[in-house]
Amino acid sequence: EAEGFDEVHYEWLPRQQAAERLRLWLEEQKASTRVEDLQPSDWFQERWQAWQKDLRTWHSKHMEYKSRMAKHGRAAGASVDAASTLEAGTTGLAVDDWPLLGEEEDPITEFLEELERDELDVFGIEDICDTGEGEPLFACFAFEDWALMSLRFELHLLVHAFKRDCNDPDRRGPMSEHLAFYYAKY
């Protein structure tokens, strides 16, 4: 009627149900259609640059810690090093250095001792670059750990930037089918 028609007839559904059905259809179309002209905002750029700066700082702290441990003759991330030597098929120990059957400690006792040594409340740490005695929280990180942490933050930033940049209350976030498109855009 507002578009110049004299009267609108609703053949299949009453007016209110037809309006509701149209609204649901529009929401579905909005949710399933990519926003082709979406551009990363200044908000995103600021957070992305801050993340890159923090990541570089953490990498340098990690390398400093590893070199400091190498100078003192201790391996940073000994569990990671042990796992990599086991994968390679060698333990680095001579057969004479292996413990004999009667000389091994009880595994439960070893586990409890390690738990006492590693009493670390991750959420109570003030500075992740120093959890105590100069050891960073990421002291045992390998390449895969850095990659997973980066991907997790990038996806977190992508979802929040999408909501801000889209500025559409009907779009709650990017559809999983379009995630690669938005990841490349951002």
The sign of the CA dihedral 104, 109, 113, 119 is: positive
Query: In one letter, which amino acid is 85?
Result: T
pTM of the model: 0.63
User: Mean pLDDT for each 10-residue chunk of the chain (186 residues)?
Assistant: 72 86 88 88 95 96 91 59 44 49 67 68 82 84 95 95 88 86 89
Task: Name, in order, each residue with C-beta under 8 angstroms of 130's C-beta and a sequence gap of 6 or more.
Answer: 136
In the chain, how many H helices and how many E strands?
A: 6, 0
What pLDDT is recorded for position 49?
A: 96
- Say if residues 165 and 40 touch (Cβ distance below 8 Å): yes
What are 110's two structure tokens?
């070893």
- Say if residues 46 and 170 touch (Cβ distance below 8 Å): no
What pLDDT is recorded for position 1?
A: 56
- Rounded CA separation 71/54 (Å): 26
Helices (H), 72-178: 78-88, 107-117, 143-166
- Rounded CA separation 145/137 (Å): 12
